[in-house]
Structure 1
Amino acid sequence: MMSGNYTTIDNQNVSGSVPAVSDPPGQVSVKFNDSTLQTFPPSGTQGKISGASGPPRDADDTFSKPVSGSSEAQQSSGWFKAFTVAAYQPYFDVDTSDVLERIKDSLLPFGGSFNEKTASNPDLYGPFWICTTLIFVAASIGTFVTYLAHKLQHKEWNYDINLVTWSAGVFYGYVLVVPLCLYIILKYFSAPSGLVQLFCLYGYSLFIFIPAMCLSVVPMEIFRWVITGVAGVMSALFVSLNLRNHIVAAGERWFLIVAGIFLLQLALSVVLKVYLFNVNV
């Protein structure tokens, strides 16, 4: 029916689409050609817009970078990452129970499972504090014993600062240089091991020398040699047995490498006996 200038359509006659309505007299209808219509966004690539919903490439490059001053950490690339604190943060992510468990494993050298337990989470926290404790224990015990010796003999006593610097150079240097050299050797024989894991292994291997150094105050030379020998053998066994299964992959020369590791750890104990455990009262 007609009401003014509008036309109503019976809903019951509509099936899927609206039928064309004839133009009433006096009205002109405007028809749009379908070819002139355009869907948005375009499916084809035009300019910098690619795809139906992809942003421009320059926008990708711009907004993918962290904003200056934002909470997102700035990630360095290449060798510059080694000079950032964030690069070493995962290696200090351990709690007290982890450190105590690894110290206990270092006192049981025949287990040989230290590398497997620390393969997914080697730490540098324990090795750092073990070496630092050794330095202060060596300096404090040596200083205290020499102080008592001078007082008992009524002689003038002077503190020797070289004991601290010498022990710091020995412990820190050993834990850094020896694992690095071993890492290069293993890489040459196509049996590479993780560098941080080697630092972790050698750092915990020195813990046995802390109680040995405390027992060195006993004024008996034979007892000191026994203590030093036991500590050196346990430390050497701990390192060599944990690396043996891994070094076997190096080929027929694996025995020479393991023997060299064992003897080098024994040599460290002899050096400690001569220069640190040799306290005269």
Structure 2
Amino acid sequence: MTTMFTPTEPAAASISAPLQGSESGSSSNSHMFLINFYRRYFELDSEIFLKKLRTAANPFKEMEEYRDEPLNNEIYGFIWITGTLVLMMFISTTGTNLLLWNPAHEKFSYDFNLLTKSVTIFYGYNLIVPALLYIASGWIFKFPEPVPLVHTISVYGYTNILWLPITGINFLIVLLVHVEEQKTLISILEWTIVGVSGAITCFSNLHQLSPIIKRNCLINADNNLELATRQHTLIIGSLAVAHILFTIIVKWSYFGIT
């Protein structure tokens, strides 16, 4: 755990100089096909990591300004949180079906394809949507400050922590409700918990990204509020629709009795 402090000017100079030198050296000697090029995206201490976790767990709290290095320009948290979610989704779905398995019928068969599907769905969605937003903001809407790709991936990655509680709730539903007699009730409960989790994660993502998008829309529209609002609504609405579709895919893939 690092301790944050405000250094004096001589100390600040001694600290910043090597960093600046290393960045220039990295940019001159590294490119996207070398591992060293990506090192800056994994430089994260535990204090910043925990701070971002607390922010993500509270969808009503805004993250720090995206220009603040290294607070939002890293993907270390995205990789590990999403990886944990992928594993927990697999365990939750497999464990639930194992609890419902009747050994008198047949031998239980583990579906390891579900693990591959988890990786594809969660990493795919949390990379493709930020990439599309980055492309749209830079080339279609021509934002003066295109939404940073790494920042958006970080936002989506950290809000994945809000999906984790449903992996445990899924067990409780199966344990507390009699399956044979109340399949309809289980289906309603599963749709409810997945829908609520999807709504919260969607709100959290949009809440973090909305100020950046709104600011660029106002600049593009020359402070024409009506035009800026239409553009802002279009972008936010598209992100919301994408997340709704993602939530439905999550429900069909992981929360159904097989």
Task: Please indicate the TM-score interval, normalised by the length of the shorter structure.
Answer: 0.7 to 0.9
Match for residue 208 of structure 1?
162
Q: Deviations over 1:190-223 (max 9, x none)?
A: 3202111111111112211111222122223222
Gaps of at least 5 residues in structure 1 are 1-72
Q: Is the 8 A contact 2:152 2:209 kept in 1?
A: no
User: Take 2:241 and 2:168, find their aligned partners in 1: how far apart are those partners?
Assistant: 24
User: Take 1:118 and 1:264, find their aligned partners in 2: how far apart are those partners?
Assistant: 26
Match for residue 196 of structure 2?
230
- Structure 1 residues 88 and 101: CA distance shift in structure 2, 3 A: same
Partner SS state of residue 106, structure 1 = helix
Q: Deviations over 1:222-254 (max 9, x none)?
A: 222221111111111111111112112234311
User: Take 1:182 and 1:145, find their aligned partners in 2: how far apart are those partners?
Assistant: 36
Flag the structure with larger Rg.
1
- Does 2:104 match 1:126? no
Partner SS state of residue 207, structure 1 = helix
Match for residue 12 of structure 1?
none
Q: Deviations over 1:39-68 (max 9, x none)?
A: xxxxxxxxxxxxxxxxxxxxxxxxxxxxxx
**Residue 57 of structure 2 aligns to which amino acid in structure 1?**
L
- Does 2:248 match 1:270? yes
Gaps of at least 5 residues in structure 2 are 1-23, 175-185, 222-227
More helix by share: 2
- From 101, 110, 122, the counterpart of 1:171: 122
Alignment of 1:179-258 (within 5 A): 179-188=130-139, 189-191=141-143, 192-217=146-171, 218-219=173-174, 220-248=186-214, 249-250=216-217, 251=221, 252=228, 253-258=231-236
Alignment of 1:1-281 (within 5 A): 75=26, 77=28, 81-111=31-61, 113-116=62-65, 119-121=68-70, 122-151=73-102, 153-188=104-139, 189-191=141-143, 192-217=146-171, 218-219=173-174, 220-248=186-214, 249-250=216-217, 251=221, 252=228, 253-280=231-258
Q: Is the 8 A contact 2:166 2:194 kept in 1?
A: yes
Q: Deviations over 1:96-132 (max 9, x none)?
A: 2322221221121122x21516732122111001111
Runs of 4+ in 1 over 3 A off after TM superposition: 73-78, 151-154
User: Take 1:119 and 1:75, find their aligned partners in 2: how far apart are those partners?
Assistant: 20
User: Take 2:85 and 2:257, find their aligned partners in 1: how far apart are those partners?
Assistant: 16
User: Take 2:48 and 2:170, find their aligned partners in 1: how far apart are those partners?
Assistant: 29
Partner SS state of residue 164, structure 1 = helix
**Residue 116 of structure 1 aligns to which amino acid in structure 2?**
E
How many residues in Structure 1 have an aligned counterpart in Structure 2? 206
User: Take 1:76 and 1:101, find their aligned partners in 2: how far apart are those partners?
Assistant: 29
- Structure with more contact order per residue of length (Cα contacts < 8 Å, sep ≥ 6): 2
Q: Percent identity?
A: 27
Residue 77 (structure 1) shift: 4.5
